[in-house]
Chain A
């Protein structure tokens, strides 16, 4: 499929052609490349193994994407690299644990999820009002904001450790139930994660594209001052951004907790893969975050077919570094200097 676009540049070396294709159609090249890797894996490892790992990848990828969409919105609109975003996920998971943790109050997980989303959104709003808005008014620099978000990350993580300790905790989910289709078997909770992730992210993408709020958010992301002069109530849009970012982070945290276990570092450990998804998907792009999240999730899970599972986390960092080197504007972004 890339061959047609390259027909006119025959005198280029293969490497240059690849670079050119990467510049013109990065998303296509990336998807094609990952697809090719998938085919190779099917040949060498068998369809069953590839499909199974791909399903797991879809589930972790949905969590990455949900985590990333909030980070990418905040990043795009406020130019704030929020190092505390991973700990928002942890916060959400423990909020759900209060209601729906095993041997806790026994409230259904759906209610726990809604509570977690509300509480994390509230946390986001409170921090915006108490910390970020005043700092912006003072014209704080990037280093100041960066270090404040790191300080905030420490406060949230260790407050959770103070209350709940470092031991592993679990949400009250049925993690043995499975769903079978097409000869594949997937844990019901993983299927729930995939469905919830896709529905929420597609809805968010459509919201950003078509609703007034979405358009305003994109306007702020392009140019905050210009949006303000054209009569948009920017502080209100920013508040909504935090509500969405917090809510999605809370949701991602609960889903992460439901598929794994809760511990105070769970969110921070996900922060770098989430950054990778944000950069890969392009800053401020919800559909980009969805695609990039799924891609990263699947690639990381597929990697376990080739190398030992313990290298899984490292693969995520390698992808992040490669993306930053090769294409810092993301696979959907336009080629411009970053």
Chain B
């Protein structure tokens, strides 16, 4: 047993600090992008992608490797990394979307774990457990410029990470708006038809297989973009940031916001991460390991209760939920 020690500091103080909200905001924005991909897969296409953390890993590592190993410009590395991740997504999707729903869940989680173990063990390429860093110089310049603007607006000595906060939310909201708009197009309607009844969609001449592929590949791209922000936030990329639990957290964000509702993702993400990060400050006389254990026990409990009593989440439509298999 570890020695119990008393947590010092008053919990409420944290919630009034700009640093806390910037930190929570960046994670919430990152997970909004992350879970938008899941929303497209689960909420609108009816495929249970449990490998989103793997796509995030491929995106973040591709960017970091391109910048640090090959010396490609950071801004050029971003579209390249997205393309690589989409290609990887296609590679996973080609066999996976033929599988039954439950098998697809297992196959995608296995693919994600294979990526993580590759990153952990291919030390020459990925730096192994130490990971990669030093890829964000170009971002720092932009960040400084934004800080300059903030200062000229009258905010003396702005929060260091505030520019990242602004950028991640601009990107998250633009992507949400695009997905929300796209869902109203014929393409979006076919997606939902595939979710509701694949055979009926096929009978109408729609290529359900191709639509499912597109769904997973687009989700992979969202994973990659979330990976960039994760990497910029931490300033390094390590395998432990891509454990399966992060996909599960993405699902918690998704079902909290509600299935089949793109704007719900952002709200779900903000609520989820405010609570989860706020729980760091619970004032209990126990060790940090125990506090962290309590936080994740509560996530598990919340998932169980949410699925038992309000599976549609905050803003989901019950009639649009994929209930059967």
A residues at B contact (CB < 8 Å) = 79, 81, 131, 134-135, 139-148, 150-155, 157-159, 161-162, 165-166, 272, 275-276, 279, 308, 310-311, 313-314, 317-318, 320-321, 324-325, 328, 338
Contacts and interface: CB of A to CB of B under 8 A. Distances in A.
A200 to B, nearest CB: 25
A324 B103 contact: yes
Interface in B276-325: 287, 289-290, 292-294, 296-297, 299-304, 307-308, 311, 321-325
A159 B293 contact: yes
Contact of A161 (B121, B289, B307, B323): B289
Contact of B325 (A141, A317, A320): A141
Interface stretch (B56-64, B77-85, B111-119, B174-182): B111-119
B269 to A, nearest CB: 17
B293 A161 contact: yes
A311 B118 CA distance: 8
Nearest to A145: B307
Ranked nearest first, the 5 interchain pairs of A and B with the lowest CB-CB distance are: A154-B300, A151-B303, A141-B323, A155-B300, A162-B293
A147 B42 CA distance: 12
Given A79-B325, A155-B300, A328-B100, 9 more contacts: A134-B308, A143-B42, A144-B308, A148-B308, A151-B302, A161-B293, A165-B287, A165-B289, A311-B121
B1 A165 contact: yes
A147 B289 contact: no
B48 interface: yes
Contacts of B107: 320-321, 324
B109 interface: yes
A151 B121 contact: no
Contact of A144 (B100, B287, B294, B307): B307
Contacts of A141: 311, 321-325
A4 B280 CA distance: 67
Contact of B307 (A148, A272, A310, A314): A148
Contact of A338 (B99, B296, B307, B311): B99
Interface string B94-131: 01100111110111011101100110110000000000
Given A135-B308, A150-B248, A324-B99, A317 B301 contact: no
11 contacts: A79-B325, A141-B325, A143-B48, A143-B321, A143-B323, A147-B303, A154-B297, A165-B287, A272-B106, A317-B110, A320-B106
A148 B306 CA distance: 9
Contacts of A154: 245, 248, 296-297, 299-300, 303
A153 B300 contact: yes
A166 B289 contact: yes
A147 B255 CA distance: 9
B198 to A, nearest CB: 13
A311 B114 CA distance: 10
A155 B304 contact: yes
Nearest to B291: A162
Contacts of A152: 300, 304
A148 B308 CA distance: 8
A164 B303 CA distance: 24
B55 to A, nearest CB: 15
A164 to B, nearest CB: 8
- Interface residues of chain A: helix, strand, loop or mixed (majority): helix
Contacts of A321: 95, 107, 110-111, 114
Contacts of A142: 48, 101-102, 322-325
B185 interface: no
A61 B74 CA distance: 46
A146 B289 contact: no
A205 to B, nearest CB: 24
A150 B303 contact: yes
B117 A317 contact: yes
A95 B297 CA distance: 19
A328 B103 contact: yes
A310 B118 CA distance: 10
A280 B247 CA distance: 25
B251 interface: yes
Contacts of A159: 293, 297
A119 B258 CA distance: 36
A310 B323 CA distance: 40
A325 B311 CA distance: 31
A314 B118 contact: yes
A81 B105 contact: yes
B2 interface: yes
B52 to A, nearest CB: 13
Nearest to B259: A143
Given A81-B106, A159-B297, A165-B289, A144 B304 contact: no
Given A146-B105, A321-B107, A131 B304 contact: yes
Contact of B95 (A81, A151, A324): A324
A318 B248 contact: no
A152 B4 CA distance: 27
B311 A144 contact: yes
